[in-house]
């Protein structure tokens, strides 16, 4: 399936808090979630994450590849239903980010180095993961989409800003 990725200039859903998925909706969205995972695994797309609001779906669902390094070829791709960051490190790391919804823009963003995330899988099983570095950054970026936040809202102009950045 080819998704039409909506950009921040023409997608009002990117600026809305997404609605929670209810257990009774699982079947309704099963194919979509499968297609989201296929989309980000497709080498032609060259992306490792996708949030439902980016494809006009107003639900708290993300598909992410959990990478160990930027060139990791043995990553695990998961989709997370109703993901919640339940804990995070105060220590931040600045790194370059980009987004399908803000095409051709790259900026430095400060993110927590480590996070603990809780979510439901497609079988409605609760999962809790501890994530670090790239995987933590990817998940924070996608969860932000579910909360109407884009990475351009978090641009860090210099490292001094990070010291004053409250997580």
Q: Which two tokens stand for residue 8?
A: 């921040």
Question: Closest by alpha carbon to 126, among 135, 136, 116, 134?
Answer: 116
Find all residues with CB under 8 Å of 141, minimum gap 6, and list them: 49, 97, 99, 109, 111, 151
Q: Which two tokens stand for residue 162?
A: 């990070």
Annotated active-site residue in 44, 84, 126, 142: 142
CB 77 within 8 A of CB 40: yes
Task: Please indicate if the annotation marks 145 as binding a ligand.
Answer: yes
Task: Please indicate if the annotation marks 141 as binding a ligand.
Answer: yes
Q: Which residues of 15-39 are buried (b: 16+ CB within 10 A; e: fewer)?
A: eeebeebeeeeeeebeebbeebbeb
R_g of the chain, CA atoms, integer Å: 15
Residue 161 falls in the annotated catalytic set: no
Binding residues for Fe cation: 99, 141, 145
Binding residues: 99, 141, 145
Which residues are catalytic, by number? 142
């Amino acid at each position: 399936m080819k998704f039409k990725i909506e950009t921040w200039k023409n997608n009002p859903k990117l600026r809305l808090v997404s609605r929670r998925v209810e257990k009774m909706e699982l079947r309704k969205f099963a194919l979509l979630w499968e297609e989201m995972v296929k989309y980000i695994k497709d080498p032609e797309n060259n992306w490792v994450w996708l949030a439902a609001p980016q494809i006009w779906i107003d639900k708290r669902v993300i598909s992410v590849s959990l990478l160990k390094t930027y060139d990791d070829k043995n990553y695990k791709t998961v989709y997370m239903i109703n993901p919640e960051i339940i804990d995070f490190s105060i220590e931040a790391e600045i790194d370059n980010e980009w987004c399908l919804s803000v095409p051709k823009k790259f900026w430095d963003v400060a993110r927590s180095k480590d996070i603990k995330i809780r979510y439901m899988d497609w079988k409605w099983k609760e999962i809790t993961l501890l994530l670090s570095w790239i995987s933590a950054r990817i998940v924070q970026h996608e969860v932000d989409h579910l909360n109407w936040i884009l990475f351009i809202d978090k641009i860090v102009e210099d490292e001094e800003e990070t010291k004053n950045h409250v997580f």
